[in-house]
Amino acid sequence: MSHTSFVPFCTFIDTTFWAELNRRKLHEWRLDETPREISGQFSLFDTTGYECRLSLSHDSFERHSPGAYHGRLILLNTLENFKGVDRKALLFEEACKVWENIESGEWLLYPERLVPFVLTVYADLKKFHYYYWNCFPALCFPENVKEKVRSSMGAPHQRYNHPPRKLLIVFADPSPVVDCAGWPLRNLVAAVAYMKRSWRWCSFISLRGGNIMKDVWPTANCYQLPTSVGWERNIQGKMVPQFADMRKILMMVPNARFHVLFLFFRLMEQSVGLNLSLMKWRLVPEMKLERYTTLKVLIFGAGTLGSNIARCLMAWGVKKITFVDNSFVSYSNPVRQTLSEFEDAREARGKAETAARALQRIYPSIEAEGIFLRVPMPGHTIDESDLEAIEKLVITHDVVFLALDSREARWLPTVLATKHGKMAFSVALGFDNYVVIRHGVKTALEKVMPSPSGALIPYSELACYFCSDVTAPGNSAVDRTLDQQCTVSRAGLSMIASGVAVELLASILQYPDPLLAPANIGEPDDSSSLLGATPHQVRGYLSRFSQMTPCVRRFEKCVACGNTVSEEYSSRGAVFVKEVMNCPSYLEKLTGLDRLQDSINDVHIEFSDNDSVMSL
């Protein structure tokens, strides 16, 4: 009969465990380090290796299933906290719980409480690195336990109603070593020795297909907590934490190329949402991130502005982006248009399709589409099928960005966005200045709370891009030199304007009801939404590195968002649009701008002699 040795536990952690831990840390637990209840699985028929295996997976976070080991997860916020854990005190605390169960006899009703574990973890969610150290507390009681394996049985069995000295105690044994019991027997021996203090030996059935073991110990009287052990050793046998790199683990999976690729896509999805989720930890806990991830955005123009707008939208978690453009990538584009490159110019590929493919290369999970389509413009020819396609696109998206080169190209999308109640944003560039305007959205009901800092204009009353015009848009490409045909602006201007446009949308989406977000006349109210102000428009000037936020009411005679235009389009549809395309001045007659122009010519201002002299 030899001294008893027990096969220790080793922790096997599946990648699904780390994935679920990531999700819960980001979206539920955040900075909370409160211990969490988890469970681990074991096998009674594991014949490989030299250690008892405790397996953790995504199921470990669910309700504990029968036959599982129950434990606790302590997830630390920093690596320093993880290294600073008082592991001696933690082992003592866990051993005390085991001893209390033995003293009270609760282990007879809940035998699984004799085999607890506590897993300490630090997770670097950005790099997918995990530091962990598991503890399986075991009592060193009684001392000098000796063991004899009496026989090997073909199948496990149970015996009942025997005298105490002939009692066989069955335990689930995860040990793969033939002549050596697993770690769970340690605390079971301690419990039997404490409860039956007159016993000097006991027989146990190792439930694993299995052995009958006879354990013998000297007289054992113990009235206080015995010595305990339990911290897991690494594969080199050292008492140090273990490390896992999920990316390297996935690369080692054999013959599973497509499965691994899918898992990498999932890793990127989690990483994309990392920065957004971290905002909710301390800065903006009430932020509604789902308003970004479920958003469907339509961008007219896949050039310099459209590309940068799309990149910013991706960073906010937008997963559905559609480009509309009818031009091709030229050699001058890639250095300014961030979604095209040399090969696209060499192959003269369409800008919309090129931008969509680039988004999918950057973020494979995004739903990006590029549509080669010409936007009908006043003063230009029209294809009725183009009109139908554009209206369908506007209807099926939530937000419209107008990032087109010419003023007249923005007219039809503005009309359609107004008619169908979609949020629309115009972004335009000068040489060293830019403008971002959100168009008014008509809703059935407006509820605007008064602002202490000034008057508010409801969303439905905000001016669109054309509300300041007193003439109808026409063909601006006629009789233009090269510098007038191209957008000539300072190199960094488009990125600034695109960023401001997307940030304005981001702020509006955090208003309680985004379609009712008003604009403040005067200084913007930085408490308008969770992210701050929701101005009507932002005008920036690089020449003096400044910006302003004017607020303008909707013009009733507007050639794009005016009621007359909306009603005319609703009643005549494509026929109305064709008439505007062929004769842009028709809009002036329809809205009454022609009469307004005539009335200006009829205005006479009389000056007195003194006023005239002073004016000289």
In a domain, 609, yes or no: no
CATH code, domain with 318: 3.40.50.720
Q: Are residues 153 and 125 in the same domain?
A: no
Which residue type, as a one-letter code, is found at position 216? V
Sign of CA dihedral 607, 610, 612, 615: negative
In a domain, 240, yes or no: yes
CATH code, domain with 110: 3.40.140.70
Domain that holds residue 472: 290-599
In a domain, 206, yes or no: yes
In a domain, 283, yes or no: no
Does the pLDDT at position 276 exceed 60?
yes
Q: How far lies 605's CA from each of 593, 600, 601, 602, 615, in Å? A: 22, 11, 11, 10, 14
Please choose, from the candidates 298, 423, 420, 436, the residue with its C-alpha nearest in 3D space to the C-alpha of residue 367.
298
Number of folded domains in the chain? 3
Give one DSSP letter per residue of 60-84, joined into a string. GGSSPPTTPEEEEEEEESSHHHHHT
Active site residue ranges: 486
Q: Kindly report the pTM of this predicted structure.
A: 0.82
Q: Are residues 562 and 449 in the same domain?
A: yes
The number of angstroms, rounded, from the C-alpha of 391 to the middle of its chain's C-alpha atoms is 31
The pLDDT value given to residue 481: 58
In a domain, 537, yes or no: yes
The pLDDT value given to residue 64: 65
Helix (H) or strand (E) holding 546: strand 546-548
Residues 480-491 have pLDDT tens digits of 555 555 568 999
Q: Are residues 297 and 414 in the same domain?
A: yes
Please choose, from the candidates 105, 133, 161, the residue with its C-alpha nearest in 3D space to the C-alpha of residue 13.
133
Least confidently predicted of 76-80, 207-211, 406-410: 207-211
Please choose, from the candidates 35, 22, 3, 15, the residue with its C-alpha nearest in 3D space to the C-alpha of residue 135.
35
The number of angstroms, rounded, from the C-alpha of 165 to the middle of its chain's C-alpha atoms is 62
Q: Are residues 355 and 412 in the same domain?
A: yes
Q: Are residues 541 and 401 in the same domain?
A: yes
Cα angle, residue 453 at apex, residues 452 and 459 outer, rounded to 5°: 90
Which of residues 201, 228, 255 is at a domain's end? Answer: 228
Please choose, from the candidates 67, 580, 53, 494, the residue with its C-alpha nearest in 3D space to the C-alpha of residue 307.
494
Q: Are residues 497 and 541 in the same domain?
A: yes
Please choose, from the candidates 498, 496, 506, the residue with its C-alpha nearest in 3D space to the C-alpha of residue 293.
506
In a domain, 254, yes or no: no
Q: Are residues 448 and 311 in the same domain?
A: yes
Q: Are residues 407 and 299 in the same domain?
A: yes
Residues 566-602 have pLDDT tens digits of 999 999 999 999 999 888 888 989 998 877 766 666 5
In a domain, 604, yes or no: no
Q: Are residues 395 and 471 in the same domain?
A: yes
In a domain, 125, yes or no: yes
Q: Are residues 155 and 112 in the same domain?
A: no
Q: Are residues 158 and 67 in the same domain?
A: no
Please choose, from the candidates 64, 117, 353, the residue with its C-alpha nearest in 3D space to the C-alpha of residue 230.
117
Which of residues 184, 202, 228 is at a domain's end? Answer: 228
Q: How far lies 526's CA from each of 277, 316, 323, in Å? A: 22, 20, 32
Q: Are residues 428 and 545 in the same domain?
A: yes
Residues 154-170 have pLDDT tens digits of 443 333 334 446 677 88
The pLDDT value given to residue 181: 82
